[in-house]
Amino acid sequence: MDKFKKEIAQKISKVIDIPEQEIESYIEVPKESTKGDYAFPCFRLAKELKKAPPLIAQEISEKLQIKESTIEKIEVVGGYINFFINKVELAKQILANFSNQGEYGSSKKGKDKNVVIDYSAPNIAKPFHIGHLRTTAIGGALYNIYKYLGYNAIGLNYLGDYGTQFGKLIEGYKRWGEEYNIDENPINELMEIYIRINKLCKEDEKVLEACRENFKKLEDGDPYCIELWEKFKKVSIKEFQKVYDLLGSKFDSWDGEATIAPKAKEIIKILEENGTITESQGAKIVDLENEGINTPCMIQKSDGSTTYASRDLAAIMHRAKTYDFDKALYVTSYEQVLHFKQVFVVAKHLGIDEKYVKGLEHVSYGMVMLPTGKMSTREGKIIKIEDLLEESINRAEATIALKNPNLENRKELAKKVGIGAVIFNILATSTVKDIIFDWDAALNFQGETGPYVQYTYVRTQSVLEKAGYIPEIAEIKFEKLTDEYSQGVLKLIYKFEEILEQVTEKEEPSILTRYLLDLAKAYSSFYNENKIIGEDEEIQNSRIYLTRATGEVLKIGAKLLGIQMPEKM
């Protein structure tokens, strides 16, 4: 919570008799520090008060009763009232809070609220490629941040372990299984079968029909099809876990589509009984034209098998009953925007509580592409995440060896830097944008990158190590931190909790990556312009304490993104 903004809103509310919460929503943070720390625009009041905004601003400012201990000064500029926070009070409040709080920026905002996050969800029997890295990184960051803000976050790895593709894979294995060594190199071998059967399906409609029949048999419990499916799933999860171990990813549930699929028939029955379903060419659909969606939602195929939509609707009902969620986030690519629009609209007809329908949210993200174009599992144009991470670690180690050849634990350090570089690169881009994956950009150790943030953290630890102590808060003279560079760092530290809240409001981890870069840059300026360890003990104590606070926030922020901080680089 921003205490300064709240106090300003309280004072203004008393003057103009507008609810404090409404006033608080109007208050802005100017981009230029010369215009104050907070600004209240009076333009919205012009029509109601029938006065010009500059006159309104002047009249309000004259009536405000602000303590100088909190607000240093007020300026009226045009239709704005600009507030300048007392620099000593700012330093005192931030660092005193920092010393008293176990995990800086954490809160109980989400107490008793359940947030279900469906992310990662790789497909069984297919390589875990960099297209899956984005959902895994975004979902993992949101999971961590929601938990940090006091929510009961539940991470679901809703495995793609069902669907027509398994009918294809079963058909391919029937035909050529003896040609491939599934046990020795499972994912690569299964992918080869998948690519080969897809090619054949394009050439022969009868083969495609046989694949569809296999999937129907799988749904109906055919022993042979189930045996193959279970084998594919077992070897796939074993390979996926290698990637999750590298990324540090954890999930509360691994139940995939196969767990939910049997419940889909209950969904079809509910929708039939309430008259939502209509038939079209043997299939069962829900017409959504009245909802502004021209494409109908297919609930059951003409051969009687379920669809992604019916299974996702069954999952919504299952999650509502199991987790009583306030929010249910689906972290998938924007290619599924229409699918989730359809599913969320149809969910209104399931008879579940309205709060569950309102809580459904699709966190869509852009595709990860190669410089040569979009990836395709069917055509074999992919980069596997495991290969990507290993390459990143190797490159990081080579760079570290050049810069600091005598550094101990170089391999462990390279792992933190290499993996951190990839995660930061993936999360630094706004979720709605596509990413063209480029090795040089992902592994650049200069500029706006993960390694730069890590290096800044290492610098804070180096300062603390050189000082040899961390002073008590009682020893800090806050008036020693009123210079431009100290204030720049302090104001960013003050915003940390607000930044985390913004991430959850917009479901956008790039807000946090941007913040960490800004904090790292601000500390670099502070470090370059101020002598931290010097002759004046009061200044030294204050700057050491600010350094410690900066390091902690950088470390916490990086951890929430899924990135570990090295102690040396």
Using one digit for the tens of pLDDT, what is the confidence trace for 182-194? Answer: 888 888 899 899 9
What are the C-alpha distances in Å from 344 to residues 22, 63, 137, 505?
A: 31, 50, 24, 19
pLDDT band at 358 (very low <50, low <70, confident <90, very high): very high
| 563 DSSP 8-state letter | -
CATH of the domain at 251: 3.40.50.620
446-484 as b/e, with b when 16 or more CB fall inside 10 Å? eebbbbbbbbbbbbbbebbeebeeebebeebebebbeee
Q: What is the CATH number of the domain that holds 441?
A: 1.10.730.10
> In total, how many domains does the chain have?
3
Residue 368 or residue 492, greater confidence:
492
Q: Specify whether the CB–CB gap between 425 and 453 falls below 8 A.
A: no
Same structural domain for residues 326 and 398? Answer: no
| Cα 318 from Cα 312, distance rounded (Å) | 10
Mean pLDDT of 14-38: 89
Residue 335 to residue 489: CA distance in whole angstroms:
40
C-alpha dist (Å) from residue 239 to 179, 387, 480, 510 = 21, 12, 55, 29
Q: Are residues 255 and 196 in the same domain?
A: yes
CATH of the domain at 9: 3.30.1360.70
Residue 100: predicted pLDDT: 63
Per-chain mean pLDDT for the chain: 91
Q: Is residue 566 part of a domain?
A: no
Does 73 share its domain with 197?
no
Q: How far apart are CA 23 and CA 11, in angstroms?
A: 10
Just list the catalytic residues: 126, 129, 132
Q: Is 70 exceeded by the pLDDT of residue 379?
A: no
Query: Could you read off the pLDDT of 222-275 as tens digits, one per residue?
Result: 999 999 999 999 989 988 998 999 999 999 999 999 999 889 999 999 999 999
The closest of 408, 516, 530, 535 to 455, measured between CA atoms, is: 516
How much is the pLDDT for 179? 92
Q: What percent of the chain has pLDDT over 70?
A: 96
Cβ-based neighbour number of residue 409 at 10 Å: 12
Predicted confidence (pLDDT) per residue in 306-346, tens digit: 899 999 999 999 999 999 999 999 999 999 999 999 999 99
Average pLDDT over residues 421-442: 85
| 463 close to 533: Cβ distance less than 8 angstroms | yes
Are 264 and 310 in contact by the 8 Å Cβ rule? The answer is yes
Decide if 520 is inside a domain.
yes
CA distance 48 to 61: 18
Whether the predicted pLDDT of 276 surpasses 90 = yes
SS3 80: strand
What percentage of the chain has pLDDT greater than the value 90? 69
Where does residue 333 rank: exposed (0-12), middle (13-18), buried (19+ CB within 10 A)? middle
Apex 568 CA angle, 563 and 569, nearest 5: 85
Instruction: Note whether 89 and 66 are within 8 A (CB).
Output: no
Q: Is residue 334 part of a domain?
A: yes
Are 83 and 38 within 8 A, CB to CB?
Answer: yes
Domain span at residue 26 reads 3-85
Question: CA–CA separation, 471 vs 171, rounded Å?
Answer: 69
Verify that 542 and 413 share a domain, yes or no: yes
Say if residue 389 is in the same domain as residue 368: no
- Tens of pLDDT along 252-266? 999 999 999 889 999
- Residue ranges of alpha helices (H) inside 112-185 are 130-148, 164-176
Q: Is residue 348 over pLDDT 60? A: yes
Q: How confident is the model at residue 374 (pLDDT cuts 50, 70, 90)?
A: low
545: in domain: yes
Local confidence band at 375 (pLDDT 50, 70, 90 cut-offs)? low
* Residue at token pair 């079968």: 193
Angle (CA) 194 199 200, round 5°: 100
Please say which residue of 63, 85, 107 terminates a domain: 85
pLDDT confidence band for 388 (50 / 70 / 90)? confident
**Same structural domain, 389 and 370:** no
Which pLDDT value is given to residue 569? 83
53 within 8 A of 43, measured Cβ to Cβ: yes
Q: Rounded distance, CA 9 to CA 5, Å?
A: 6
pLDDT digits (tens, 9 = 90+) for 41-75: 999 888 888 899 999 999 999 988 777 678 888 99
Length of the chain, in residues? 569
Q: What is the pLDDT of residues 445-483, one digit of tens each?
A: 678 899 999 999 999 999 999 999 999 999 999 999 999
So what's the pLDDT on residue 493? 96
Whether 405 and 325 share a structural domain:
no
**What local confidence, expressed as pLDDT, does residue 461 receive?**
96
393 shares a domain with 254 = no
Decide if 93 is inside a domain: no
Q: Distance (Å, rounded) from C-alpha 218 to C-alpha 72?
A: 72
What was the pLDDT predicted at 55?
94
Domain boundary among 38, 69, 85: 85
Task: Report whether pLDDT(360) > 60.
Answer: yes
Q: How confident is the model at residue 353, as a pLDDT?
A: 96
Q: Angle CA(202)–CA(204)–CA(206) in degrees, nearest 5?
A: 125
Q: Is 277 domain-assigned?
A: yes
pLDDT 10s digits, 121-150: 998 888 888 778 999 999 999 999 999 999
Of 351, 374, 397, the position where a domain reaches its end is 374
Looking at the structure, do residues 359 and 390 belong to the same domain, yes or no?
A: no
Same-domain check for residues 136 and 38: no
| 227 and 299 within one domain | yes
320 neighbors 353 (Cβ within 8 angstroms): yes
Of 33-42, 265-274, 282-291, 365-374, the one with minimum mean pLDDT is 365-374
289 and 349 share one domain: yes
pLDDT tens figures, 32-49 = 888 899 999 999 888 888
What's the CA gap between 458 and 302, in Å, rounded? 61
For residue 99, being part of any structural domain is answered with no
Give the pLDDT score at 102. Answer: 67
255 CB contacts (<8 Å, ≥6 apart)? 156, 158, 159
**567 inside domain:** no
What pLDDT score was predicted for residue 381? 59
